[in-house]
Structure 1
Amino acid sequence: MTTPAIHTTAMSKMYGDFAAVSSLDLTVDQGEIFGFLGPNGAGKSTTIRVLLDQIRPSSGSAKILGHDIRTESLEVRRRIGYIPGDLAFYPSMTGEQTLRYFAKLRGGVKQQRIDELAERLQADLSKKISEYSTGNRQKIGLIQAFMHDPDLLILDEPNAGLDPLIQQEFMEMMREVRADGRTVFLSSHTLSEVERVADRVGIIRHGKLVVVESIDGLKKKAVRRLDFEFGSVVPDTLFDGIDGVRSAEFNDHHVSVSFDGSVNAVLHTAMDYEVVNLHSREADLEEIFLAYYRDDSSAGAKNVS
């Protein structure tokens, strides 16, 4: 059997009596893009910091590419690329100087590879880090994570500040990593960010892994929303009894309907009245959790990212 890219066994991180990560059992296979999903404060970044040996687990164990995260942390670092959620560089250095610095720490990276990535991401390497926008600084972070072609990429909220065209290029870069048999661990709080590229996803909520499944399986659980603007006030019982409707919120001429399954019955009912405007959107992850993974006992949980 192929050694997993990431394998954790009952891994926990406690802060006093609060579990930021609780008994995490997770296996990420080599050659896949794995989406690690959860709202802000769910425990995603804490999990990553433990995996990278930046903080120590309170209990349990973890291996990356077969190497223990504590006793073989240097070998782990050699084989990964990483971009943190709170990305920061030396502000007085240029992008080029920053990448040269990280390349030397890596023991050398081909300049041709750096130039190729800079061109793909439309990154200007001549400016100082302090002069970059959030998105341009993020490009430097992506280049340093990808430039040595690591066996495993660990990316924590990597899309921050990137414009849509660069996001598309970044998605293509991740697909190329997968096609090469290498692995991407993509942490995000945005379902739409990972659904285009991920093979499987794990959802963490309040420090607990609540589900691991394929992206298609997750989509079947996703609650969608239709926002109607009617020409007049409609009865607040309009959508009662409609198959798939989870809830309907009425506010004057506006009605927001959360549903799963087919949209036909919802639209057919609404068309009995004058619809002035209609907007469709997917529910965010927190709404999915509330619909499928409600845990009333955790309502008072603290926020630790």
Structure 2
Amino acid sequence: MTILQTTNLTKKFGKFTALNAVNMEVNKGEVFGFIGPNGAGKSTTIRILLGILKATGGEAKIFGKDAWKDAVEIHKRISYVPGDVTLWPNLTGGEVIDLFTKLRGGNNKSRREELIQKFDLDPSKKCRTYSKGNRQKVALVAAFSSDADLYILDEPTSGLDPLMEKVFHECIMHAKQEGKSVLLSSHILSEVEKLCDKVGIIRQGKIIESGTLKELRHLTRTNLLVETKQQITDLNNLKGIYDIERKEQALSFQVDPEELDAVMKYVSQFGLVRLESSPPKLEDLFMRHYERPSSHIGVGGES
């Protein structure tokens, strides 16, 4: 069952095209990773989904309803966490959480208390005293305390320490087990790799790759570390080999999947002593898409 769908979603600001025919689909019980560097179009897409911005073209639907026209109805069933949370300075964290849960019509006190403990949050403090990480915790507790059908999370772990990131991961898995859907926008690739069923990579307003992690693996290179009795010669003349580095007695390099068989046959004739292979990571795929002839775009850099 489709929960969220965009079809040729386009947004222009004057002559600048922020989104160019973005197609995306999130199904029931699915965690969809929406990745790309800052400035690629993730937040613009989310603002359209939330009914904050009106699309220039195409359509965005949530629960089968129009994201712009039916925003009020849609908001009754979604929870949203931005990457930089602004709270009312004179309210306590607990008061803000209660306000959000009341607005949504839910009041699961045991879940609220459980999350406050897990996120190690002091709900009695005024919001003006909170650090960025604590403001983020307030938003996450409020979001996961509510019984939403769809969670839209835009860089939600911004400002959290690794221990709290682990708690966040548990919340996502709990929501998934309950059949909820999650749209997770992030540039933290390890987070996406751990949590997501499907991934969409956006670059300069266009979805350049999407699918399950398994479907995308074929686009990535395998990492090899090879030590041989005799020195390997002419390795860089073989097809599909990249980033050759010498590491003490061994050579480290990446291989395109379709050339792996030929490369293994070639290096084995030099007398294999050690061979280590690590599976392709989402990061490799991501960086391949963002490689430019003169430089590499950083994962969190502007595009």
In which range does the TM-score fall when normalised by the shorter chain?
Answer: 0.7 to 0.9
Letter of the 1:26 counterpart: M
In structure 2, distance between residues paired with 1:145 and 1:224: 38
In structure 2, distance between residues paired with 1:170 and 1:82: 14
Deviates more, 1:27-36 or 1:282-291: 282-291
In structure 2, distance between residues paired with 1:29 and 1:295: 37
Residues 38-187 of structure 1 mapped to structure 2, 5 A cutoff: 38-187=36-185
1:276 maps to none
In structure 2, distance between residues paired with 1:18 and 1:63: 24
Native 8 Å contact 1:6 1:65 kept in 2: yes
CA RMSD of aligned residues (A): 3.7
Letter of the 1:189 counterpart: H
Letter of the 1:156 counterpart: D
Residues 24-35 of structure 1 mapped to structure 2, 5 A cutoff: 24-35=22-33
User: Offset at 1:47?
Assistant: 0.2
User: Offset at 1:259?
Assistant: 5.0
Deviations 1:181-235 (A, max 9, x none): 11011111122111111111111111011121111233443457799xxxxxxxx
Native 8 Å contact 2:6 2:23 kept in 1: yes
User: Offset at 1:66?
Assistant: 1.3
Residues 150-299 of structure 1 mapped to structure 2, 5 A cutoff: 150-223=148-221, 240-241=236-237, 244-248=240-244, 260=256, 283=283, 286-290=286-290
Native 8 Å contact 2:19 2:41 kept in 1: yes
In structure 2, distance between residues paired with 1:295 and 1:59: 32
Secondary structure at 1:74 match in 2: helix
Native 8 Å contact 1:191 1:285 kept in 2: no
The number of residue pairs the alignment matches comes to: 283
Secondary structure at 1:5 match in 2: strand
Native 8 Å contact 1:157 1:187 kept in 2: yes
User: Offset at 1:285?
Assistant: 6.2
Classify 1:150/1:290 alpha carbon distance in 2 versus 1 (closer, same or farther; 3 Å): same
1:234 maps to none
Letter of the 1:289 counterpart: H
Provide TM-score, normalisation by structure 2.
Answer: 0.79
Secondary structure at 2:20 match in 1: strand
User: Offset at 1:17?
Assistant: 1.6
In structure 2, distance between residues paired with 1:168 and 1:242: 42
In structure 1, distance between residues paired with 2:302 and 2:4: 22
Structure 1 gaps, min length 5: 228-236, 273-279
Secondary structure at 2:195 match in 1: coil
In structure 2, distance between residues paired with 1:285 and 1:158: 23
Deviations 1:58-94 (A, max 9, x none): 1111110111112211111000000012321122322
User: Offset at 1:281?
Assistant: 10
User: Offset at 1:249?
Assistant: 7.8
Native 8 Å contact 2:48 2:68 kept in 1: no
Letter of the 2:8 counterpart: A
Letter of the 1:17 counterpart: K
Letter of the 1:19 counterpart: T
Provide TM-score, normalisation by structure 1.
Answer: 0.78
In structure 2, distance between residues paired with 1:225 and 1:136: 39
In structure 1, distance between residues paired with 2:22 and 2:290: 21
Deviates more, 1:91-100 or 1:38-47: 91-100
Letter of the 1:112 counterpart: S
Deviations 1:1-38 (A, max 9, x none): x3x11111211110112111111122111111111111
Letter of the 1:71 counterpart: K
Classify 1:126/1:284 alpha carbon distance in 2 versus 1 (closer, same or farther; 3 Å): farther
In structure 2, distance between residues paired with 1:147 and 1:208: 34
How much identity, in percent, do the aligned residues show? 40
1:275 maps to none
